[in-house]
Amino acid sequence: RRAAALARQRPDLVLTPIRGNVDTRISRVRDGEVDATILAVAGLTRIGCTTEIAEILDDLLPAPAQGALAVECREDDADMRALVATIDDPQARLVTSAERHVLVGINATCTTAVAALATYESGRLRLRAELTIHGRHTMADLVEACAPADVAKARALGLRASAVLAGSERPVLLIRSEGNESDAESLDAYGIASITEPYVRITPMTDGADAASLVALLRACAADTDLAERTWLVATSPMTVPSWLTAAKGAGLAEAVAVAAAAGVRAAATGERTAATLRDLGFGEVRVPSEASARGLVADLAGVTPGRALFPRGNLALRTLPDGLRDLGWKVDEGVVYLTSTVPERPASADMIEQGQVSAVVVRSPSAVRALIAHAQVPATVPIVCAGRTTAEAATDTGLAVAAVAASPSSADVARAVAGLLGSAGRA
């Protein structure tokens, strides 16, 4: 962030990363290794080194929520939540909510060169933000009349700023689950600006009983040579493996997979993103159907001698895969390794949808469809793009107007569907 800002303001500078504590960095300036070093004024003030400051760069925006102190506690601890609520600073919450939703909207990582600063004065919330990515620099400066307790409006302002940074005041909205990757990069390749916000929450099972049971079954199948060659591990979501690893805890899933794969147990997935997680888990080859869906996987496995399928899944997984395999003569062992739910707090982008401030909405799963209609009244004028037939059917069943359906859930196909829908107006 600082390097990007300095490079923009002073292209003549040679920027070099240096490591070490404050004393080490200051000594490198004194010893002539570098001409200057950038340090935080707050930190230098705290340790009594303000005499070392040669210049204060006021025009460098800070990182979002920099300087704010966050207090965390367990979600189900009502007493602790009530206690920490007494020290909550409403204005700090207001400005940091605006700044942090800039991060949400652009799906930022720890290395994203993004800065944001919100200030609140006389009932007006001002948010300034900057983003540098792939050598392209964008800025946003927005003001909104806002009550001190209107955190929802602050979040919406953050999303609007992220849309400006992305290059459009009517971006594509990517509905996703918490912690899931977005399709922003693929859309950007088409010149289509997008923002993202979680509507779905994925929570690994806490008791881990089903997760551990499936690991034990995997070990048992691997121990029988004949059974191992007729056993398949099947998955329908890229969230399955990471959730299973968490829910299984000390059950030794990775070790069990290594033994099973060596014994001949095979793996199959409904799409490439899910297949990649199975490969990372230890399966060298993963079968993926030409139609990336549970229906497609059932059709693909119809050509295989029926055997045993282990199916770790979410609590809301559709019955298409397990019931379809059973109809073909397979024995299917299911286990719930994660819970899928709608985020309880209304996403800030719901207002943008209702006000027609997005050019399209992308949904990736029936769960995302349910979460979308739970939080927003979607106007018929807002195009809905679905990642595959299953999601499209769920969207149509709820009354949403589906404008485009991607050939598969892959990011490339989703971006292609959006580009085909929007045409050259992607950055309108």
Condensed to tens digits (0 to 9), the pLDDT of residues 185-243 reads 889 889 888 889 999 999 999 888 999 999 999 999 999 999 999 999 999 999 999 99
Contact between 279 and 204 (Cβ < 8 Å) = no
- Total-model pTM: 0.77
Q: Check pLDDT > 90 for residue 4.
A: no
Mean pLDDT of the chain: 91
pLDDT of residue 177: 81
Condensed to tens digits (0 to 9), the pLDDT of residues 34-57 reads 999 988 888 889 899 888 899 888
Residue type for 249, please? Answer: K
Condensed to tens digits (0 to 9), the pLDDT of residues 115-162 reads 999 999 999 999 999 998 877 888 999 999 999 999 999 999 999 999
Please list the residues that pair with 363 across neighbouring strands. Answer: 386
Burial classification of residue 74, based on how many CB atoms lie within 10 Å of its CB (0-12 exposed, 13-18 middle, 19 or more buried): exposed
- Reduced to 3 states (helix: H, G, I; strand: E, B; else coil), residue 171 is coil
pLDDT of residue 181: 61
Contact between 197 and 176 (Cβ < 8 Å) = yes
Q: Check pLDDT > 50 for residue 425.
A: no
Q: Check pLDDT > 50 for residue 168.
A: yes
Contact between 342 and 374 (Cβ < 8 Å) = yes
For the chain, how many residues are written? Answer: 428
With pLDDT > 90 as the criterion, what percentage of the chain qualifies? Answer: 68
- Calculate mean pLDDT across residues 235-259: 93
Give exposure, 213-237, as e/b (b: 16+ Cβ within 10 Å). bbbebbbebbeeeebbebbbbbbbb
- Reduced to 3 states (helix: H, G, I; strand: E, B; else coil), residue 250 is helix
Condensed to tens digits (0 to 9), the pLDDT of residues 292-345 reads 899 999 999 999 999 999 999 999 999 999 999 999 999 999 999 999 999 999
**Quick one: which of 415, 386, 179 has its CA closest to 378?**
386
- Calculate mean pLDDT across residues 79-91: 95
Q: Where does the pLDDT of residue 428 fall: very low under 50, low under 70, confident under 90, or very high at 90 and above?
A: very low
Contact between 404 and 417 (Cβ < 8 Å) = yes
pLDDT of residue 387: 92
pLDDT of residue 373: 97
pLDDT of residue 179: 59
Question: Domains (ranges, CATH) in the chain?
Answer: 2-52 (no CATH), 61-166 (3.30.160.40), 209-341 (3.40.50.10090)
Q: Where does the pLDDT of residue 77 fall: very low under 50, low under 70, confident under 90, or very high at 90 and above?
A: very high
